[in-house]
Amino acid sequence: MKTVAWVVVSVACVLAGVHCLLAAGSEWESQREGMVAVQIAGRDVTDPSVLRAMRRVPRHLFVPEVARAEAYGDFPLPIGQGQTISQPYIVAYMTQLLRLKPGAKTLEVGTGSGYQAAVLAEVTRTNVYSIEIVEPLAKTAAERLKQLGYGQVVVKCGDGYLGWPQHAPFDAIIVTAGAEHVPPPLIEQLKRGGRMVIPVGGAWAVQSLVIVEKLADGTVKRQDDIPVRFVPLTGKGRDR
C-alpha cells in the first residue's frame, strides 16, 4: 500500500514539474512574441525570415541569470567582461540590412553572448563564422550555442579586424562593435554582390551604422544609415 502511495506521489510530482516547465516555457515564448510585435515588427523590420528568427531564438538563455527577467526588454544588457548584448531591435534591424538568403555565408565580428550569431543561423540555415576577441566570452558563447542546437555557428577567439581569410569570401559581414574605420581586410573578404553592416565612429561616442556593398564589378559603395552606440572594436583597429 505504502509503495502504491509513493508511486502516486512521485508521478504527481513529475507531472507538476513538467507542467511548471511548460508554463515557464510558454511564458518566455509570450514575452518573445510581445518583443517582436512591439519593438521589432512594430517599428520597421518587415523581413519575415528575420521576424521568424527573433521569435525563435531564446534570448533569455543568452543573458546572465540575474538579468533573465529583463531579457526581452527594449534595451541592451551587460553580459560580463564589460561587454553587452545589443538591444533586440538593433539585432533585428542590422540582420535585415544584410538582406540574407538561405545558404548565405556570414561572418560576425563580436560574438559576445552568441545571440546575434544564433539569429543569423536561423535566417541563413547554414554555417555562421563568428569571432570574439575576449576569450572567456568566446568560450561561453561557443558552449552555449552548441547546447542550444546552433552547432552550425563556428566561433573562434581572435581579432575580428582581420576577418577570417580561410572561410572568405562572405556573402555578408556584420560587425557588432564600433570601429574607427571600415577594416580593409573585411572589405577584401566580402563577396562581389555582398553586404557588410558596421558601426563606424569614435569609441564610446555616437557612431553611424554604415552599409558597405561590394558591387558585381568589385567597386565598393558606402552608405550611412542610422546613428547607433556600440562598445568599441578593440584589437588592431585601435592600435594604430
Which residues contribute to the site for ligand SAM (CB under 6 A)? 83-86, 109-110, 112-113, 115-116, 131-134, 137, 159-161, 176-177, 230-231, 233-235, 237
| Shorter beta-carbon distance to ligand SAM: residue 104 or 161 | 161
Written as one string, the DSSP assignment of 169-224 is -EEEEEE-SBBSS--HHHHHTEEEEEEEEEEESSTTS-EEEEEEEE-TTS-EEEEE
Question: Please, what is the minimum distance in Å from the beta carbon of residue 161 to ligand SAM?
Answer: 5
49 is catalytic: no
Taking the least distance from each CB to ligand SAM, the nearer of 93 and 230 is 230
User: Toward ligand SAM, which CB reaches closer, 194 or 235?
Assistant: 235
CA–CA dist 59, 19 (Å, integer): 22
Closer by beta carbon to ligand SAM, 50 or else 231: 231
Residue whose grid cell is 562581389: 192
Tell me how far apart the alpha carbons of residues 175 and 4 are, in angstroms, rounded to a whole number. 60
The single-letter DSSP state of residue 70 is G
Give the three-class secondary structure for 84. Answer: strand
Q: How far is the CB of 199 from ligand SAM (least distance, A)?
A: 9
DSSP 129-184: EEEESSHHHHHHHHHHHHHTT-TTEEEEES-GGG--GGG--EEEEEE-SBBSS--H
Q: Catalytic one among 86, 113, 130, 208?
A: 86
Which residues are annotated as catalytic? 86
